[in-house]
Amino acid sequence: MCGVIGVSGVPDASRLAYLGLYALQHRGQESAGIMAVGAAHPAKLTRAMGLVADAFSESGLEALPGDAAIGHTRYSTAGSTVLANAQPFLVDYHAGALTVAHNGNLVNADVLRDELVREGAIFVSNSDTEVLIHLIARSSAPTVEGQIRDALERADGAYSLVIGVGRTLYAAVDARGFRPLFVGRVEDGLVVASETCALDLVGASNMRELQPGDFFRLHDGQLTELAPLTPRRVTRCIFELVYFSRPDSTIFGESVDRVRRELGRQLARFHPAAGADVVFSVPDSANVMALGYSEVAKIKLEHGLIRNHYVGRTFINPTQRLRVEKVKIKFNAVREVIAGKSVVVVDDSLVRGTTSKGLVKMIRAAGAREVHLRLGSPPITGPCHYGIDTPNREELIAATHSREEIRAHLGVDSLEYLSLDEMIDATSRETKWCHACFSGDYPTPVQLTLGAIPSVPELLEVAP
């Protein structure tokens, strides 16, 4: 998953992009980058591994002058964790500097890449986003917009994009609308960002959400709506609301806070825990879910787990060994709240079961009499091919184990999930959702993504 931001028609655009990236840090903590360009300043790019705070310095931002900028925070879902895959990508294009920042995952990237390599294209990364750049550059359409449109129509899967051609920015969302993207006004300029919380931070007004298939041009503070992409069945990602987006954002027309609260209420309505004394969340994504649960169940809400905010998300580090260690670094239990009590623990989702198992151990060690785990989403039984970092099927505990096996493995007294309908009922029924990771109902062909992504040296060996 990733966060993207674009700034057009604002002096020192890179500074605004930098600020906005702070509000998108939760969408990707592996690498960060900003490209800036101005009428008198050629496009320049800074990319670094790690957090936004570490990736840029005062002098680094000073070296990025101009009134247009594009920023990105990355959390790899396609391609490996190396600087070569950090975004934005910046290349030389016939119409000027071409910059791409991408949130999402293309499901046909491997096939397209194969074709491109056969035609002689050479790749510098193994990111699916680089495929888009080649498609744009090689399109035979007569205009820049036509070339970008061509590429977007050939790409299948999830993309919310900010593309720069010189100082002109383009914002686009794939026709299924998997990932969010917003535009707002700042002074005389415009800002595009993955979530409204980033637009809030930079003081944007007149915010609007790009709808599935929207393709906009931003230049010198002017927004032009280009013809939309070919319509497809809309499938917004429900996991954005369950887990990924920040509760202070409004995405897909819904307040994330409101939906999460309702998920918690649904849990209390349909999955009560008789005789429980207190309820608390696994912070932070489930905080308001526990609040909703407490409201309906009339059980006292407590802070039973404390999260250390100076540690990144548990899943960031992709090795099992480090993931287990990190659980302990990230959380601790509050003995005072827990000792001798029957507790309801609310979390948004269960993925591998690793974090939860560690947490339950901690909660028991803090003296809980009973532990009832409640999950604000159904069992995750399939991987996401559209940009959420869910692991392969074999690693998904609910794909290979029964509810009772998981309950015993986690060591809880009871384990309950929301059903698909109970989860969807917490959202506005008007939105059409992608819930493939829960239901197996994938809105695109997915077999195309499953091949191993070639490493760059391997690819150069096979390139003609």
Residues catalogued as catalytic = 2
Q: How far is the CB of 283 from ligand AMP (least distance, A)?
A: 9
Alpha-carbon distance values, 286 to 101, 277, 379, 451 (Å): 29, 19, 16, 34
Applying CB under 6 A, the span of 144-152, 153-161, 185-193, 311-319 interacting with ligand AMP comes to 311-319
Q: How far is the CB of 349 from ligand AMP (least distance, A)?
A: 5
Pick the closer one to ligand AMP by CB: 147 or 390: 390
Which of 67, 156, 200, 347 lies at the binding interface for ligand AMP (CB under 6 A)? 347
Site for ligand AMP in 241-260 (CB under 6 A): 243
Which of 67, 130, 195, 389 lies at the binding interface for ligand AMP (CB under 6 A)? 389
> 422: how many CB neighbours lie within 10 A of its CB?
19
Pick the closer one to ligand AMP by CB: 170 or 244: 244
Cis bond before residue 54 (omega within 30° of 0): no
Pick the closer one to ligand AMP by CB: 125 or 356: 356
Q: How far is the CB of 394 from ligand AMP (least distance, A)?
A: 14
Of 346, 379, 351, nearest to 271 (Cα)? 346
CA distance 8 to 20: 13
Residue 353 near ligand AMP by CB under 6 A: yes
Q: Which residues contact 424 (CB under 8 A, 6 or more apart)?
A: 238, 433, 435
Which of 126, 349, 427, 444 lies at the binding interface for ligand AMP (CB under 6 A)? 349
Which of 99, 249, 285, 449 lies at the binding interface for ligand AMP (CB under 6 A)? 285
At 219, list the tokens. 């230049």
> 402: how many CB neighbours lie within 10 A of its CB?
10
Of 132, 30, 133, nearest to 83 (Cα)? 30
Pick the closer one to ligand AMP by CB: 350 or 412: 350
CA distance 4 to 273: 41
Site for ligand AMP in 263-282 (CB under 6 A): 282
At residue 335's C-alpha, the angle toward residues 334 and 341, to 5°, is 110
Pick the closer one to ligand AMP by CB: 80 or 211: 80
Q: How far is the CB of 359 from ligand AMP (least distance, A)?
A: 7
At residue 116's C-alpha, the angle toward residues 114 and 121, to 5°, is 120
Q: How far is the CB of 362 from ligand AMP (least distance, A)?
A: 12
| CB 34 within 8 Å of CB 45 | yes
| CB 124 within 8 Å of CB 456 | yes
Residue 355 near ligand AMP by CB under 6 A: yes
Which of 25, 147, 168, 390 lies at the binding interface for ligand AMP (CB under 6 A)? 390
At 198, list the tokens. 């980033």
Pick the closer one to ligand AMP by CB: 66 or 247: 247
Q: How far is the CB of 265 from ligand AMP (least distance, A)?
A: 18
DSSP letters spanning 153-202? HH--B--EEEEEETTEEEEEE-TT--S--EEEEETTEEEEESSHHHHHHT
Residue 409 near ligand AMP by CB under 6 A: no
Site for ligand AMP in 66-105 (CB under 6 A): none
Place of tokens 């912070």: 283
Residue 352 near ligand AMP by CB under 6 A: yes
Q: 168 in the Ramachandran plot: left (φ > 0), alpha (ψ -120 to 50) or beta?
A: beta
Alpha-carbon distance values, 106 to 77, 81, 319, 390 (Å): 10, 17, 24, 15
Residue 388 near ligand AMP by CB under 6 A: yes
Residue 240 near ligand AMP by CB under 6 A: no
Applying CB under 6 A, the span of 53-61, 84-92, 152-160, 386-394 interacting with ligand AMP comes to 386-394
Which of 64, 279, 351, 398 lies at the binding interface for ligand AMP (CB under 6 A)? 351
| CB 212 within 8 Å of CB 177 | yes
Q: How far is the CB of 442 from ligand AMP (least distance, A)?
A: 17
Applying CB under 6 A, the span of 14-22, 84-92, 344-352, 441-449 interacting with ligand AMP comes to 344-352
Q: How far is the CB of 315 from ligand AMP (least distance, A)?
A: 3
Residue 313 near ligand AMP by CB under 6 A: yes
Q: 219 in the Ramachandran plot: left (φ > 0), alpha (ψ -120 to 50) or beta?
A: beta
Which of 356, 427, 444, 449 lies at the binding interface for ligand AMP (CB under 6 A)? 356
Site residues, ligand AMP (CB under 6 A):
243, 282, 285, 313-315, 347-356, 388-390
